[in-house]
A and B are shown apart, each in its own frame.
Chain A
Amino acid sequence: MKEKATVSDTRDLTRLTLSEARDGLAQKTFSAVELTDAFLSAIETANPALNAYVLATPEVAREQAAQSDKRLASGEAGALEGLPLGIKDLFATKGVRTTASSKILGEFKPAYESTVTSNLWNAGAIMLGKLNNDEFAMGSSNETSAFGPVINPWRRKGSKEKLVPGGSSGGSSAAVAADLCLAATATDTGGSIRQPAALTGTVGLKPTYGRCSRWGIVAFASSLDQAGPITKTVRDACIMLGAMAGYDKRDSTCVDRPVPDYEAALGRSIKGLKVGVPQEYRVEGMSQVAEALWQQGIDWMKDAGAKIKEISLPHTKYALPAYYIVAPAEASSNLARYDGVRYGARVPGNNLIEMYEATRAAGFGQEVKRRILIGTYVLSAGYYDAYYLKAQKVRTLIKRDFDAAWNDVDVILTPTTPNPAFAFGEKTGDPLAMYLEDIFTVTVNMAGLPGISVPAGLSSEGTPLGLQLIGKPFDEETLLNVGQIIEASAGKFAPEDRWWS
């Protein structure tokens, strides 16, 4: 009979990276059940402080772990066998409450499983629970969640002030940074994977639009949404993406092409690789530390033998305003289905219109309402051409900027965010300041390209910042390979004390 894992053992197991845990399971150093229990107990301890999980699923996790141990024993292990993950609450999970962190979905339990999570379970992964996010993925600080904000495990040096974990995948970034899962799923519409990764010292990968199926993911803006992982290391991102990606005929925008072995792309020489540095990303309001880190990144690239080229992406300054037309327009339509008629929350009224109004007034938060209003406005008769159509034209121009750039460079290097993590309430009163958080990340969604954020250094206050790499369509391999070089050059970062545990 095995003794229950001791407290110190538990800590050790949760600190493992995904690839280390995979090796440990393969070598039978520990079992999937032991690994899972370690995380479940860490969540129990830490979640009240961090609020990263909106729902823990210990029963599901233990059952899956027991099955994994059987398959590990019989040599039928999948690529993610026995590895405990957190799932952003935007992914539909069969029989497990899925809310997009909105009141309007109430206690909604889907009768279906999203394609991405199905792929993960088929690969043997274990679900620890559902992760917090900005309501319907609308936000950059995880402050708009109906379940309350997520707290960043990182704090400024000598301060106990709570910082935001970024958003909308704030639960995912915080859970990975705080060792409450080995890796997490996330989604990125304008930066919702990369920005929270940058603010929590984790790796965030937004794949090419069409790389992962959107089937079963609560939609925010369909032409921009894409699922991807938040992980502790670049190698872990390779492992996660390999399992998440793949063709799905149920998503008409999903692309039918083979999924490469992303880990095999790591460690290649980047000698002669052309790295673009876009001049338009030197924006007003960028912190000195972000600018210094960007230069540091350029130097690391040079040291590794890459060639740096100044490039121009002339329509960059129009990306953010165009994004805040296209995304709300699609959202206003996508969220029309939450009407209280078939599922989720319903507030009764004397007639259909009153029921709609009462339900949607009570069910949606401020930010979601704001975006539905903006989206409805820009699609309205008389405004469509001036707003939506013009924004789509800008989008085409942004795509062309990148297409032209790919004639000269193989990958583009930028900061992920202009600033490190900020405090609660710092930007909630000023939506435009909050929207500026996405300034370096939205162009990538508008063009449908892959982007990765890799931890690159710390601010003078000891909070992390990331560097972003932007790649050609479906060239995640180059992003991951170059990302690992940044990771290796920058070294490891972790919050100074584990105050949440």
Chain B
Amino acid sequence: MGRKKKTSEKTNLIPGATGDWEVVIGLEVHAQVNSKSKLFSGASTKFGGEPNSHVSLVDAAMPGMLPVINEECVAQAVRTGLGLQAKINLKSVFDRKNYFYADLPQGYQISQFKQPIVGEGEIEIDVDGETKTIGIERLHLEQDAGKSIHDQHPDYSYVDLNRSGVALMEIVSRPDMRSSREAQAYVTKLRMILRYLETCDGDMDKGNMRADVNVSVRKPGDPLSTRCEIKNVNSIRFIGQAIEAEARRQIDVVEDGGEVSQETRLFDPKTGETRSMRSKEEAHDYRYFPDPDLLPLEFTQEYVEELKRGLPELPDEKKKRFIKSFGLSDYDAGVLVAERASANYFEAVLSCLKNSKRDGKLAANWVINELFGRLNKENMGIEESPVSAEQLGGLVNLIGSDEISGKIGKDLFEIVWSEGGDPAEIVEQRGMKQVTDTGAIEKTVEEVMAANPDKVSMVKDKPSMIGWFVGQVMKASGGKANPKAVNEVLKKKLGIS
């Protein structure tokens, strides 16, 4: 891969008693598919309903009930695969993963084992200004289980089947990450792509996206060693903490002369440590076999192409376009595309500009510095912004065409934020327009010069004193004089070249 830049390995290594260690990380992300109904039943996927209120006969595994694939979930998986530049498999197979648990009504989870719907793909991540490509091994569709509730009764557990049968995409990465920050960048980027595609809302608080984290450690250059899987980590922060803690634990085990044993572990955010959940010996034998209730899932290349045509511009492409078209910095472009809503807002501002080529960068500055800054301060989301894209675009237009100065712009922003209204009208009504009329400026300049003969004589020896005159003229004009014009007139009158 030509574009793949190697991150400097040194910064990623973890020091141990016996020298530096390298951590190897692979992630299995479970992302809930955005769909109205479940993967194999018509029941609603809405979050937060009364327990067992979104449960069909199929979800409850009543005798004789059969699964029927929800085509919208298939389309969402294909869209996601396309967004991950991945191979779409025109034929895939649903398998049964068999195990007993109270919140798994069928006694098996319908998943995809040998033939997933999406094959190999990749994601680019940026860490410390360097770009790295993380391989995607596969994406498959599967059912979520229900929820066991253990704290409602001293002797019994309760089961809520609302989630039972909801569609999940399991996205499996290659073991390509070498630090907790890379892993966090990967999940952040994956989440961003899913949210752009609208195939998963990425809401980790609701458990709509969670990760199983595979961690192993080795001396740089050694082959891969035994890994542990940390199950169900449900925030990007915890993913980082879990990796750090687990890598440290494994290094300690090996340096104390022990061996890392393959097992499933859980991360406890309270202690910041991982603990064993079950060993390899206790691992389930899932007895996977093709689900005889379902035919192989097959679709045509045309179907894939049609979905491809409907895809939105993805963050990487959008970022490149912002940089190329408006000369934005990599950082600013990155901030704007981080959330689809932010990017959409910026694009809406662009569409209101009279000269977007000239003022695009100015608009970006206003969106990032003034608007985002203010929203952050008020703890508000972009959706709640009192300043619409049209209003901000109008404001940028006034600055871009020199009708107001940047300083007046800030006052105007304040007015629009708190009072609303059309920026151009406000400027007109309140006389905020800047004076570009050289005659008027000359008059003010002459007045200032006449009132300060001592300063006029000093400026001959010290040309930087022109700044003092600019300030006086601006003040006399009530801030409305065009600073550029003031500068020019002053230079001419004061005889500074």
Contacts and interface: CB of A to CB of B under 8 A. Distances in A.
B496 interface: no
A314 interface: no
B287 A376 contact: yes
Contact of A214 (B64, B102, B105): B64
Interface residues of A, number: 43
Which of A341, A356, A384 has its CB near the most chain B CB atoms (within 10 A)?
A: A341
Given A336-B107, A341-B102, A356-B100, A216 B295 contact: no
B98 A379 contact: yes
Interface in B291-336: 292-295
Which of A114, A252, A380 has its CB near the most chain B CB atoms (within 10 A)?
A: A252
Contacts, number: 97
A105 B287 contact: no
A110 B69 CA distance: 23
Nearest to B159: A341
Contact of A342 (B61, B285, B292): B61
A337 B289 contact: no
Q: What is the interface residue range for chain B against chain A?
A: 20 to 34
B285 A336 contact: no
A329 B66 contact: no
Interface stretch (A80-88, A218-226, A259-267): A218-226
B106 interface: yes
B224 interface: no
B474 to A, nearest CB: 75
A250 B157 CA distance: 32
B66 A214 contact: yes
Interface in B252-298: 285, 287-289, 292-295
B57 A112 contact: yes
A337 B293 contact: no
Contacts of B63: 92, 98, 100, 105, 108, 110, 218-219, 337
Contacts of B295: 252-253
B210 interface: no
A215 interface: yes
Nearest to B286: A381
A339 interface: yes
A249 interface: yes
A114 B64 contact: yes
A342 B108 contact: no
Contacts of B98: 332-333, 336, 379
A216 B64 contact: yes
Which of A100, A215, A221 has its CB near the most chain B CB atoms (within 10 A)?
A: A215
B53 to A, nearest CB: 16
A356 to B, nearest CB: 6
Interface in A106-154: 108, 110-112, 114
A290 B100 CA distance: 46
Given A333-B108, A336-B107, A110 B62 contact: yes
A252 B68 contact: yes
Contacts of A337: 61, 63, 105-107
A330 interface: yes
Interface string A196-229: 0000000000000000001111110111000000
Contacts of B100: 336, 339, 356
Interface in A93-108: 98, 100, 105, 108
Nearest to B68: A252
Contacts of B68: 249-252
Interface in B105-157: 105-108, 157
Given A253-B295, A333-B96, A336-B100, A215 B61 contact: no
Nearest to B96: A333
Given A110-B62, A252-B69, A336-B100, A388 B292 contact: no
Nearest to B103: A341
A333 B289 contact: yes
A332 B68 CA distance: 21
B98 to A, nearest CB: 6
A473 B357 CA distance: 67
Contacts of A380: 285, 287
Interface in B85-101: 96, 98, 100-101
24 contacts: A91-B64, A110-B63, A111-B57, A215-B66, A216-B65, A250-B68, A251-B66, A251-B68, A252-B66, A252-B295, A330-B292, A332-B287, A333-B98, A333-B287, A336-B106, A337-B105, A339-B100, A342-B61, A376-B287, A379-B98, A380-B285, A380-B287, A381-B285, A384-B289
Q: Which A-B residue pairs are the 3 nearest by beta carbons?
A: A336-B107, A223-B292, A379-B287
Given A110-B62, A253-B293, A333-B107, 15 more contacts: A92-B62, A112-B62, A217-B64, A219-B293, A250-B66, A250-B68, A253-B295, A333-B98, A333-B287, A333-B289, A336-B98, A337-B61, A339-B100, A342-B60, A384-B289
